[in-house]
Chain A
Amino acid sequence: MEHAASTAFMGSYSSSILWLIPFLPAFGALINGATGRRLRNNKLIDCIALGSVGISFLLSVVFFFRLFALEPSQRVITQSLWTWFDLGGAQVLGGISHNVMEWGYRADQLSIAMALLVSGAGFLIHLFSTGYMSEERNDGRYYRFMAYMNLFVFSMLNLVLGDNMMMMFLGWEGVGLCSYLLIGFYFDKETAAVAGKKAFVTNRIGDFGFLIGFFLLFMIFGSVDFNTMMGMTRDVMALPELTLFGVTRASTWWFNLVGISLFIGACGKSAQIPLYVWLPDAMAGPTPVSALIHAATMVTSGLYMICRMNFIYVNAETALAVILAVGALTAFVSATIGFAQYDIKKVLAYSTVSQLGFMFMGMGAGAFSAGMFHVFTHAFFKAALFLGAGSVIVACHHEQDMRNMGGLRKYMPFTFASMGFATLAICGIFPFSGFFSKDEILWKVFEGWYNHGHFDGPCLNLVAWILGMLGAFCTAFYMTRLMVMTFWGNYRGNGEDPHGLRAPAEPDHDHGHADQHHNNDHNEHHEPHAPHEVSWNMWLPVAILAGLAVIGGFLNIPHSLHFLGGSHFSEWLSPLLLQNSAAHASHGAVPAIEYWLQLFALVWAGLAILLALWIYKMDPTWSKARTFVAKLPFLYRWVHNKYFVDEFYEFAIINSCKRLSAQLWAFDAWVVDGMVNGAARISLLAGKFTFWIDARIVDGLVNAVAWSFKQTSLFFRFFQSGRLQHYAFVMFFGFLAFAFWRFLV
């Protein structure tokens, strides 16, 4: 293991304005959120929202150059704002550590690169939103949208610029909240509200793993500060074994545990199997949100976290293997789902899940910089594709079903060109960016099995490589399908549909455009406006992103193609990464097989594109696809319904949870509270019984005494008549009796 990091941060530079990068968008969110509803001044809202993100971007550029000017091993600028909290002593490995968390930021090679991406792409997408949200601009919801978007940029910048895991977690949860708020932006639509909740709760399940990993790290290092952990890793690794909670294991065992726990968190945030289900549903949010949060930035935070924690992962082989396996599986499975989707955003959503799988494959192969590079190229082309899709949706009057589009090439040339280039990039066609980044990942995975010509590496790598190649094939196919369905043929949105390609009417269709009952109204409404190119503030961001997707690949040319340029990106990151030896060995001679694989990948992607063109373009009736579906209806239904995973979760987890709740509630009402009420009832009964005893026996005795007195007194009362005659009579007789007794006896 090469240990570049431990010597890297001997000294660091501090800055007093670093905090402005994340906080400017926060201020933007605050101002817009507090005043937007009252002022209703859209221009002002635009200025604040775009301005804050734009200045953040410029500041990131400034910091990039400041770092650039420093020695590679010295490239850290930090700022600590305040002590966030201080929990007192904590018993960790090796004694008591003071549990202090700082509210601090750190700009280094990785975080500034991410900050550039977040604020840069964020700015472009904010710009796009000014056009896309034109309806909301008029009905007073616009300020809310922009405030949420700014809040998101703030959280995301916290995530990437945070100086310790606590700050990262702050951003981690913050982006989750913003995602929730933005998915549910059209909250009066039930689906949007449900999708937002689903995203949040699924992410919470991931956070469970993140927190466990976090606590374990704290127990091992006594701190979660990135610098401290990086610096101490070597020492911890040098220990023969670690004992925590009375369990003694090798340090790699603990690192594996940490790695897997953290990866569960990454699975939630970055939509990997089994926690990916929220991302396709998240498309219920406005399209710029899908581009910014659910394609370019937030979903890559899991990747960022793993790259940041690479010092753990290089020492955690099992965890890496898990990541590789999950990544490869996700890359393949979700790509296949893309075959059978008609909603343009759903296709892109599954494509995103699949591409994230590719990135995780790179991480799992130990090629952190390759994985990170794909984060960047993917951000360019996927943001371009999503924004382009947004433009298309606007142009087609909020129609999302590709079957109802078609022929848009003629109407929207800029959008078509941009999306076309982005598609070529995602398919991995030379020399667009996707070729370089995806190829590097697949090669690294393959290299693990290839093992310098011995072909005896872990079989997992071979399987993952095969899955990856299949996934790449699917990607090229469904993306071409998307382009053909959307941009070629004739426009089907106004009812001209000679081949019967339009979506069948669904009564519960969100937008009602396909609803036959309203078809006439809609046609009347639509006829005057054929699809049109969108305004400049919408196509320009798409074009810029597409341009980046075209040339971005040259930032990181693989070593095998070094005659084209250098691998600047990898070199830039390298002081931060503890790449394992395999990753570094590639700087030697390039094996011929790498060139063959590159060629193969190109041909492979080309084949997929041609196949899709053959099926969907050459034949405007799509009859081959239809016959295929007709032959295998079961397979189609299965894929179209996303393998029924959602239904499975609903049935197996959510329903059983609800059932358990209901049972516990009954238990609570009848048993737990029943005992309380039972105790009360028993007391009452006892009271009644006692009262009976009291009334009948105790009081009865008392009354009996009284009664006896009464009876006695009744007898004596007889003598007390109160009549003088009686008394005189008695006295007289008494006197007689006395006299009789005295004198006569």
Chain B
Amino acid sequence: MPMIPWFKNLPLWVTAVPLLGALLLLFIPKAKRRLLELGAFSIAILDFILSIPLWFQYDRTTSAVQWVTEMDWIPSIGVKFSIGMDGISLVLFMLTTFIGAIAVWCSFSAITERFKEFYIWVLVMQFTMLGVFICQDMFLFYLFWEIMLVPMYFLIAIWGGPQKLYAAIKLFLYTLSGGVLMLVGILAIYFLQYKTTGVYDLSIASFHNMAGAIAAQSQTFQVLLCLAFFIAFAIKVPMFPFHTWLPDAHVQAPTAGSVILAGILLKMGTYGFVRFMLPIFPNILPTLMPCFLTLTIIGIVYGALVAMIQKDMKKLVAYSSVSHLGMCMLGLFALNPNGIMGAMFQMINHGISTSGLFLIVGIVYERRHVRQIADFGGLSKTMPIYATVFMILTMSSIGLPGLNGFIGEFAILQGAFQAQPWWAVVATSGIILGAAYMLWLYQRVMFGPIDDINTPMKDLNAREIGYFAPLVVAAFWIGLMPSPIMNVLQKPIENLVMQVNPDFYKGQDLEKNKAEAARLGIRAMEAAPHAHDDNDHGDEVGNGGQ
């Protein structure tokens, strides 16, 4: 792809478009509903289309940050306006533009009042989320991280359900309190950096470089510092026991809010772990790991069990998120490439499947204005397309091979199994429960006899099919051919593992391994018996033809 100058700053443009669009919407009279809807939608679609070239521009052969743009901002304290992305950010960045467009599209009929503010807030929301993924400066990161709460607060507090104010305030204060802790952590590292190197630098790279200096500090300091970041991110993920804001926020939020919340906002927490927690605290992580892992494992099983007996469909999906993101954290904490790859996929898959499930709930809510499972039954009879989409998303959520959910769960479990088999064994039980609660939900809503109240419900219309289609296609695409995404993630993850778990590659010649893998390639394994006959039968047996 030719590097047209403005292409170089494409991520910046993609980030700015929603904000500019929101400004544009300000000039549209608020009575013109259709114009506002279409305007917001075309801005979101434009944003998504603009982000597609990034996929092709990205250089997969390096783990370096790309599309770097750097300007001095507040030089006296070392703040720079610095942006750029690596593969990990890119994948989530693309997910954001993708889900953002769907969130706008699904609101056309769901939002019946104050359209103008709604679409403006959704676009501002998207701007801040994109900002989190592209910034390379802690100050900027913190800025986006906190500003993000404002549009979400309004989305829930204005267009939400009966207890919207409670939910919105809870979301805002809970995550803000975590954010403030993180700020303390950031400042601590910032001043520590001045003490050790004599410069003030807030770039993320320089924070990564502080890992060694932090490791030299006292144990207590390290633990406290690590916990400050941990709690901030754990609230956002959310991990057990910091998860209770999530069901409330989801249940009260309008469908678009739930979609954004599940699709992207929760990924901020896991992204924080990938970007900050793991690389900055490689030294203290093993000490705290048993504690973190216990919370993670509890979250997986606990979320699934609690989801099982929910009576409200949205709440059920919300608790399933707790379980799914627990899986994601398990993959991250495995600290090996398989696990982290799985975690990244779990983030994407959760964004697709769970957003889809919230849309599914939104469909019946729009038609009947109830969400209790007991109010439905037998919908398959009158809504065959809806039934099919729901089935696909259910299967994707419970990890059926061939659909997206499986790739993530499988890789996570494999990574966890390599690190410590018992984690994987316990986590697998969460998957059994996952099948149980999702299929039970499906059975109660879709199967059985249908009653008179539900009979007139209409099947999906063209617009609804339109916004489900990309999700379904993505679910199949990732399930059947995830390797394009894996190629993007491979290098950054390798780099991350080297930062956080240097022992993993110890004594391994990475390039040689890579060449070996390439040589083995597709039909490689046939040659294995040969290769082994040539080998001495030492410890190297089992190394895939090593």
Stretch in contact with the other chain, from A62-70, A97-105, A410-418, A523-531: A97-105
Q: How far does the alpha carbon of A36 sit from the alpha carbon of B240 in the complex, in Å?
A: 46
Q: How far does the alpha carbon of A94 sit from the alpha carbon of B507 in the complex, in Å?
A: 12
* A9 x B526 contact (CB < 8 A): yes
- Given the interface pairs A85-B407, A239-B541, the reply to whether A98 lies near B402 with Cβ below 8 Å is no
Q: How far does the alpha carbon of A546 sit from the alpha carbon of B340 in the complex, in Å?
A: 54
* A87 x B414 contact (CB < 8 A): yes
* B505 x A89 contact (CB < 8 A): yes
- Given the interface pairs A82-B481, A235-B532, A236-B542, the reply to whether A87 lies near B341 with Cβ below 8 Å is yes
* B421 x A245 contact (CB < 8 A): yes
* A91 in contact (CB, < 8 A): yes
* A322 in contact (CB, < 8 A): no
* B205 in contact (CB, < 8 A): no
Q: List residues of chain B with CB within 8 A of the CB of A245.
A: 420-421
Q: Which of A88-123 contact B (CB under 8 A)?
A: 88-100, 102-104
* B542 x A90 contact (CB < 8 A): no
Partner of A94, one of B310, B380, B440, B539: B539
Partner of A665, one of B309, B417, B532: B309
Partner of A102, one of B391, B447, B522: B522
Q: Which of B407-429 contact A (CB under 8 A)?
A: 407, 411, 413-415, 417-418, 420-421, 424-425, 428-429
Residue of A nearest to B381 (CB): A188
* A583 in contact (CB, < 8 A): no
Partner of A661, one of B309, B414, B480, B541: B309
Partner of A87, one of B400, B486, B528: B486
What 1/0 flags go to A395-409 for Cβ under 8 Å of B?
000000000000000
Partner of A218, one of B378, B414, B504: B414
* A6 in contact (CB, < 8 A): yes
Residue of B nearest to A198 (CB): B439
Q: List residues of chain B with CB within 8 A of the CB of A521.
A: none
* B490 x A219 contact (CB < 8 A): no
* A221 in contact (CB, < 8 A): yes
Q: How far does the alpha carbon of A221 sit from the alpha carbon of B517 in the complex, in Å?
A: 15
Partner of B523, one of A78, A172, A218, A235: A78
* A92 x B523 contact (CB < 8 A): no
* A204 in contact (CB, < 8 A): yes
* A447 in contact (CB, < 8 A): no
What 1/0 flags go to B426-444 for Cβ under 8 Å of A?
0011011101100110010
Q: Which of B462-512 contact A (CB under 8 A)?
A: 480-483, 486-487, 490, 493-494, 504-505, 508, 510
Q: How far does the alpha carbon of A219 sit from the alpha carbon of B419 in the complex, in Å?
A: 11
* B355 in contact (CB, < 8 A): no
- Given the interface pairs A85-B486, A97-B543, the reply to whether A215 lies near B424 with Cβ below 8 Å is yes
* B372 in contact (CB, < 8 A): no
Stretch in contact with the other chain, from A205-213, A476-484, A633-641, A709-717: A205-213
* A2 in contact (CB, < 8 A): no
Residue of A nearest to B416 (CB): A215
Q: List residues of chain A with CB within 8 A of the CB of B176.
A: none
Give min CB distance, B402 to chain A, whole Å.
6
Q: How far does the alpha carbon of A147 sit from the alpha carbon of B337 in the complex, in Å?
A: 39
Count A/B pairs, Cβ under 8 Å: 249
Partner of B244, one of A193, A227, A673: A673
Residue of A nearest to B510 (CB): A89
* B439 x A201 contact (CB < 8 A): yes
* B540 x A228 contact (CB < 8 A): no
Residue of B nearest to A235 (CB): B541
* B252 in contact (CB, < 8 A): no
* A194 x B522 contact (CB < 8 A): no
Q: How large is the interface on A (under 10, 10 to 19, 20 to 34, 35 or more residues)?
A: 35 or more
Give min CB distance, B443 to chain A, whole Å.
5
What 1/0 flags go to A660-681 for Cβ under 8 Å of B?
1110110010001101100010
* B305 in contact (CB, < 8 A): yes
Q: How far does the alpha carbon of A626 sit from the alpha carbon of B540 in the complex, in Å?
A: 69
Q: List residues of chain B with CB within 8 A of the CB of A665.
A: 306, 309-310
Q: How far does the alpha carbon of A177 sit from the alpha carbon of B391 in the complex, in Å?
A: 10
Please indicate which of the listed interface residues B417, B425, B513 has the most CB atoms of chain A within 10 Å of its own CB: B417
Q: List residues of chain A with CB within 8 A of the CB of B228.
A: none
Q: List residues of chain B with CB within 8 A of the CB of A207.
A: 432
What 1/0 flags go to A219-231 for Cβ under 8 Å of B?
1111101011001
- Given the interface pairs A37-B384, A177-B400, A668-B244, the reply to whether A84 lies near B481 with Cβ below 8 Å is yes
Q: List residues of chain A with CB within 8 A of the CB of B526.
A: 9-12, 227
* A174 in contact (CB, < 8 A): yes
* B414 x A14 contact (CB < 8 A): no
Q: How far does the alpha carbon of A188 sit from the alpha carbon of B425 in the complex, in Å?
A: 36
Q: List residues of chain A with CB within 8 A of the CB of B302.
A: 664, 668
* B62 in contact (CB, < 8 A): no
Q: List residues of chain A with CB within 8 A of the CB of B525.
A: 223, 225, 227-228, 231
* B490 x A98 contact (CB < 8 A): no
* A205 x B532 contact (CB < 8 A): no
* A308 in contact (CB, < 8 A): no
- Given the interface pairs A82-B481, A99-B414, A231-B532, the reply to whether A174 lies near B402 with Cβ below 8 Å is yes
* A200 in contact (CB, < 8 A): yes
* A193 x B542 contact (CB < 8 A): no
What 1/0 flags go to B519-530 for Cβ under 8 Å of A?
010110110111
* B309 x A6 contact (CB < 8 A): no
Give min CB distance, A247 to chain B, whole Å.
9
* B544 in contact (CB, < 8 A): yes
Give min CB distance, B130 to chain A, whole Å.
27
Q: List residues of chain B with CB within 8 A of the CB of A80.
A: 522-523
Residue of A nearest to B309 (CB): A661
What 1/0 flags go to B152-188 for Cβ under 8 Å of A?
0000000000000000001001100000000000000
Give min CB distance, B332 to chain A, whole Å.
14
* B483 x A93 contact (CB < 8 A): no
Q: List residues of chain B with CB within 8 A of the CB of A93.
A: 541-543
Give min CB distance, A61 to chain B, whole Å.
25
* A239 x B529 contact (CB < 8 A): no
Q: How far does the alpha carbon of A227 sit from the alpha carbon of B531 in the complex, in Å?
A: 13
- Given the interface pairs A90-B336, A235-B541, the reply to whether A177 lies near B395 with Cβ below 8 Å is yes
Q: How far does the alpha carbon of A164 sit from the alpha carbon of B539 in the complex, in Å?
A: 24
* A220 x B542 contact (CB < 8 A): yes
* A97 x B546 contact (CB < 8 A): yes
Q: List residues of chain A with CB within 8 A of the CB of B417.
A: 215, 219
- Given the interface pairs A215-B413, A658-B309, the reply to whether A676 lies near B245 with Cβ below 8 Å is yes
* B446 in contact (CB, < 8 A): yes
Give min CB distance, A75 to chain B, whole Å.
14
Q: How far does the alpha carbon of A102 sit from the alpha carbon of B174 in the complex, in Å?
A: 45
Q: Which of A8-48 contact B (CB under 8 A)?
A: 9-12, 14, 33, 37
Q: List residues of chain B with CB within 8 A of the CB of A657.
A: 305, 308, 433
* A238 in contact (CB, < 8 A): yes
* A170 in contact (CB, < 8 A): yes
Give min CB distance, A732 to chain B, whole Å.
69
Partner of B432, one of A98, A204, A215: A204
Q: Which of B369-400 contact A (CB under 8 A)?
A: 378, 380-381, 384, 388, 391, 395, 400
* A187 in contact (CB, < 8 A): yes
Q: List residues of chain B with CB within 8 A of the CB of A660.
A: 305
Q: How far does the alpha carbon of A14 sit from the alpha carbon of B481 in the complex, in Å?
A: 22
Q: List residues of chain A with CB within 8 A of the CB of B539.
A: 94
Known A-B contacts: A84-B483, A87-B486. Give 16 more (CB < 8 A).
Answer: A86-B483, A88-B338, A92-B543, A99-B414, A103-B480, A174-B402, A187-B380, A201-B439, A212-B424, A212-B428, A222-B542, A222-B544, A227-B529, A232-B529, A235-B541, A660-B305
Q: List 24 A-B contacts (CB under 8 A).
A: A84-B483, A85-B482, A86-B483, A88-B490, A89-B336, A91-B418, A94-B539, A95-B542, A96-B513, A97-B543, A187-B448, A188-B450, A204-B436, A208-B431, A211-B428, A220-B542, A227-B529, A231-B528, A236-B542, A238-B537, A657-B308, A658-B308, A658-B309, A665-B310
What are the 8 closest A-B residue pairs judged by CB atoms, nearest first? A231-B529, A88-B337, A98-B517, A193-B447, A93-B542, A228-B525, A222-B544, A673-B244
